[in-house]
C-alpha cells in the first residue's frame, strides 16, 4: 500500500481527471494535489470550480510536451506520486490530425518519465490508458491483460506506444509504475464531441443524432466515478509494474446507447421519446472503425476488490440529469466562451 503525500495530476481539467479530482481532493485532505494541464479545447477550469478554493489543491497551466515546464513543477512541489491523465483523446480528431496525438501522448509521456526517472522519491507513476490499444474484437471474446496490442487509430496507436514506454521504464530503470486500460467512460463534464454527451445535448436541442455506419459497433460502457475509484485502488494498492483492465461489463451497440439516451432525455424533459428517436441520422462510417470492445475485469475485481457501483441505466440517468442541470457549463462549452475566460485568467508556463 502506498501513501501519497503530493500527487502530480496531469490533464486534471479534462473529463476523467476533473471527475477524479472532484472526488479525491475533498476525500484526502492530507494529500496535496497539483494539477498540471495545458487547457487545450478539452480542458475546462469550470469543471474544477468546486475544488479550486481547497487548501490541498493547486493548478498549474503547463504543457507536458515541455520538459522544462514539468521540471519547474517538480522543483516547486516535489511530488512523490504521478497520476497521468493528460492526452489528446478523441479518435476522430486523431484521424484528421495525428501529430498532436503523437506529441502529447507519446512524447509528453516520455518527458514525464524522464523527469521522474531522475527522482529517488517517486513511489508510484500511474498511467491511465484505454482498451482501444487491443484493437477490435469480433462477436465473441473479451480483452484481458494478456491480449496482444493491435491498435487501429492514430489515437490508440499513440496510447499503445505510451503504455509500452511506461512499462519499459519499470523494467529498465525500476520506476514504480502501474497502468490501467479502461473501456469507454461516460458521465458529467465530458466534452460534447464524444458519443454520449453529443447525443444528450443534440437530443435536448432537437438536433440530428449522427450515428456512424450501421450503429452496430459495440462499446463496453463505464460510469466515470467507477473508473475514478478503480484508479485510486490501483494507485495505492496495485502491484509494482502491474496492469489492470477496467470495464463496466455493460456492452451496448451504439444504437442501443442512443436509444437509451433518447428515452431518458424524453422522460427527464417530458418529451415523447419516439420524437427524439426520429432525430437519428445515419452518417458515413469512421475509417478503421473498431467493431467491438469488451473488457474482462476479473483481475482488478479479484486482486483489488473493485467492481462498478453504477449500472448503465443509473449512470446514464445521472449523466442526462447533469447535462440538464448544468446549463452554465454547457452554454460556456457550446458557445466557446470558456476559451475567452481561460485566455483572460491563466498564465501559461
Ligand atoms: P480529455 O480529452 O477530456 O482530457 C484531456 C486533458 O488533458 C485536458 O484537460 C487537456 O487540456 C489535457 N492535455 C492535453 N494535452 C496536454 C498537454 N500537452 N499537456 C498538459 N495537458 C494536456 O480526456 P479524458 O477523456 O479525460 O481522458 C483522460 C485519459 O483517460 C486519457 O489518457 C485517455 O486516453 C484515457 N481514457 C479515456 C477514456 C474515455 O472514455 N474518455 C477511456 C479510457 C482511457
Ligand atoms: P466515441 O465517444 O468517439 O469513443 P471511441 O471512439 O473512443 O469509442 O465513440 C463511441 C462510439 O460511437 C464509436 O463506435 C463511434 C460512435 N460514434 C457515432 O456513431 N457518432 C458520433 O457522433 C460519435 C462521436 C461517435
- The ligand 2 site (C-beta within 6 Å) comprises 91, 184, 194-195, 198, 210-212, 217, 219, 254, 286
Q: Is the pLDDT of residue 341 over 60?
A: yes
Write the pLDDT tens digit of every residue in 231-266: 999 999 999 999 999 999 999 999 999 999 999 999
63 lines ligand 1 (CB under 6 A): yes
pLDDT at residue 347, rounded to an integer: 62
- 40-64 exposure pattern, b = at least 16 Cβ within 10 A, e = fewer: bebbbbbbbeebeeeebbbbbbbbb
Q: Is the pLDDT of residue 45 over 70?
A: yes
Asked if 149 and 123 count as a contact pair (C-beta separation under 8 A), the reply is no
pLDDT at residue 6, rounded to an integer: 98
Asked if 291 and 138 count as a contact pair (C-beta separation under 8 A), the reply is yes
Query: What is the 323 CA–ligand 1 centroid distance (Å)?
Result: 20
Q: Is the pLDDT of residue 117 over 80?
A: yes
Share of the chain above pLDDT 90, in %: 95
Q: 337: how many CB neighbours lie within 10 A of its CB? A: 13
Query: What is the 335 CA–ligand 1 centroid distance (Å)?
Result: 21
Q: Which residues are catalytic?
A: 131-132, 155
What atom in ligand 1 is closest to the CA of residue 43? 9
Q: Is the pLDDT of residue 348 over 70?
A: no
What atom in ligand 2 is closest to the CA of residue 211? 19
37 lines ligand 1 (CB under 6 A): yes
293 lines ligand 1 (CB under 6 A): no
Write the pLDDT tens digit of every residue in 267-320: 999 999 999 999 999 999 999 999 999 999 999 999 999 999 999 999 999 999
Query: What is the 85 CA–ligand 1 centroid distance (Å)?
Result: 5
- Is the pTM above the cut of 0.95? yes
What atom in ligand 2 is closest to the CA of residue 91? 6
| Matching residue, cell 490530425 | 97
Amino acid at each position: 500500500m502506498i501513501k501519497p503525500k503530493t500527487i502530480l495530476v496531469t490533464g486534471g481539467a479534462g473529463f476523467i481527471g476533473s471527475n477524479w479530482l472532484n472526488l479525491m481532493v475533498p476525500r484526502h485532505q492530507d494529500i496535496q494535489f497539483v494539477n498540471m494541464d495545458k487547457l487545450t479545447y478539452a480542458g475546462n477550469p469550470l469543471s474544477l470550480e468546486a475544488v479550486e478554493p481547497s487548501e490541498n489543491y493547486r493548478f498549474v497551466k503547463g504543457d507536458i510536451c515541455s520538459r522544462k515546464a514539468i521540471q519547474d513543477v517538480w522543483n516547486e512541489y516535489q511530488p512523490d506520486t504521478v497520476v497521468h491523465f493528460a492526452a489528446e483523446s478523441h479518435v476522430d480528431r486523431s484521424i484528421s490530425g495525428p501529430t498532436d496525438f503523437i506529441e502529447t501522448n507519446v512524447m509528453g509521456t516520455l518527458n514525464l518519465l524522464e523527469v521522474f526517472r531522475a527522482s529517488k522519491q517517486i513511489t508510484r507513476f500511474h498511467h491511465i490508458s484505454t482498451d482501444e490499444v487491443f484493437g477490435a474484437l469480433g462477436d465473441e471474446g473479451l480483452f484481458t491483460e494478456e491480449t496482444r496490442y493491435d491498435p487501429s487509430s492514430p489515437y490508440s496507436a499513440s496510447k499503445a506506444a505510451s503504455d509500452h514506454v511506461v512499462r519499459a521504464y519499470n523494467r529498465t530503470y525500476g520506476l514504480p509504475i502501474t497502468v490501467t486500460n479502461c473501456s469507454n467512460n461516460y458521465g458529467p463534464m465530458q466534452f460534447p464531441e464524444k458519443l454520449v454527451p453529443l447525443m444528450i445535448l443534440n437530443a435536448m436541442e432537437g438536433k440530428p443524432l449522427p450515428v456512424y455506419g450501421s450503429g452496430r459497433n459495440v462499446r463496453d460502457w463505464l460510469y466515470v466515478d467507477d473508473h475514478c475509484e478503480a484508479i485510486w485502488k490501483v494507485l495505492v494498492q496495485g502491484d509494482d509494474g502491474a496492469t489492470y483492465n477496467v470495464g463496466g461489463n455493460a456492452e451496448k451497440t451504439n444504437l442501443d446507447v442512443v436509444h437509451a439516451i433518447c428515452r431518458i432525455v424524453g422522460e427527464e424533459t417530458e418529451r415523447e421519446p419516439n420524437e427524439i428517436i426520429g432525430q437519428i441520422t445515419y452518417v458515413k462510417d469512421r475509417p478503421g472503425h473498431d467493431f467491438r470492445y469488451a473488457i474482462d475485469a476479473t483481475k482488478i475485481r479479484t486482486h483489488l476488490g473493485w467492481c462498478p457501483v453504477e449500472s448503465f441505466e443509473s449512470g446514464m440517468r445521472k449523466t442526462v440529469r447533469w447535462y440538464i442541470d448544468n446549463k452554465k457549463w454547457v452554454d460556456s462549452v457550446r458557445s466557446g466562451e470558456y476559451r475567452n475566460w481561460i485566455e483572460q485568467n491563466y498564465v501559461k508556463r
